Amino acid sequence: MRIVIAGGHGQIALRLETLLAARGDEVAGIIRKAEQADALREAGAEPILLDLESASVEDVAAQLQGADAAVFAAGAGPGSGTDRKDSVDKGAAVLFADAAVQAGVRRFLVVSSMGADPKHEGSEVFDVYLRAKGAADEYVRGLAGLDWTILRPGMLTNDAGTGLVRLEAHTGRGPIPRDDVAAALAELLDTPATAGLTLELISGSAPVSVAVKSVAGN
């Protein structure tokens, strides 16, 4: 498969690129800064320099031509203010989804956040973030041109992955290593029967492949 990842230099994205390249997929990652390119090459991915905050739908669709799947893993990051939550966590996600539709890329994965809700209340930056992610998720769900799956991990850690997870519509809160989020995304890409599902992910007792097959059967 050819897979294009938005937010290609993110911590989850780099792990996912490494996994996909190792198994023989052709992977490209969209990055905003040229100095990030070497990290993607080391992961086995082709860097695409494109700023999703200023690009047009046509610009992004051109990079998605011929792809089998697209993954939105971009984020404004913990140090960013409310404006960039709107322009990246919501705006770039909407742009990337529209571009996938235009390019005819049906399989579409979103790395969202547990608690994402367009009606989430509160005025703190994290509240704005959860509203932005929720609005983006809602927009993607409304696009008939996408076979989407939305993944909402719990509290992300840099612990070594265990390969054991809990993946359900509602898991309750809990931690999850970024390694295991990447492994779940790789498995979801291979499981089109998970299209149309919004899933929460935390550490658990089921091997990733078993957990994905289980939700695909529901």
Catalytically active residues are 129
CA distance 161 to 168: 19
What residues have CB less than 8 Å from 13, skipping those under 6 apart?
5, 7, 29, 71, 73
Q: How crowded is residue 19: how many other Cβ atoms within 10 Å of its Cβ?
A: 20
Greatest CA separation for the chain = 45
Amino acid residing at 138: E
DSSP E strands in 128-207: the ranges are 147-153, 155-157, 164-168, 175-177, 197-203, 206-207
Which residue in this structure is represented by tokens 């230099």? Answer: 9
Taking the mean position of all CA atoms in its chain, how far away is CA 203?
18
